[in-house]
Amino acid sequence: MMMKHWVLRAALVGGLMVAPMAVQAQSKPAASATVMPVSQELLTSTVHEAWVESGRNEDKFFEMVQVCANLSAQKRGLTLPDTEAAGRKMGMLIKTASRRDSDQLLYAVVDAAVRQTATPTTAANTK
C-alpha cells in the first residue's frame, strides 16, 4: 500500500523548494494532470532542474517525487509504508538532502529516502 499522500506532501512543501528563484525556466509545455510516466529526463534531472521543470509548481514537483518513489520501491522490491510517521520521515529525508545539495539527482535523493523508510515486499504486502 502506498504511503499517505498528504503526509509526504506536507513534509516536502515545508521547505523543499531549494532552487534559486533568480534562475528562469525555459518555456516548455506544462505536464498534464494525468499520471506522469517515468522518463529519462526525470531520472537524470537534478533537484533544481526538476523544480524548474515543474514550473515551480508544488503539485507538479510532488508528482515527480511520487513517480521516483514508486519506481525506486518497485525496482528494489520494497513497499512504501502507509503511515503518517513514515511519510513525515521520508519527506524530511528528501527535504534535508535536497537542501544540502540541489545539484544532486532527484531520483537519487528519493531513492535514498525510500531505502530508509520502505519495507521489503512480502506476499502479505502485495494483497
For 57-77, what is each residue's pLDDT tens digit?
A: 999 999 999 999 999 999 999
Residue 124 predicted with pLDDT over 80? no
User: 35 or 71: which carries more pLDDT confidence?
Assistant: 71
List the end-to-end C-alpha distance of the chain, in Å, as a whole number: 9
Contacts of 67 (CB under 8 A, 6+ apart): 35, 36, 37, 38, 42
**Per-residue pLDDT, 55:** 97
**Per-residue pLDDT, 74:** 94
**Per-residue pLDDT, 38:** 76
Q: How many CB atoms lie within 10 A of CB 92?
A: 17
- Region 27-56: mean pLDDT is 74
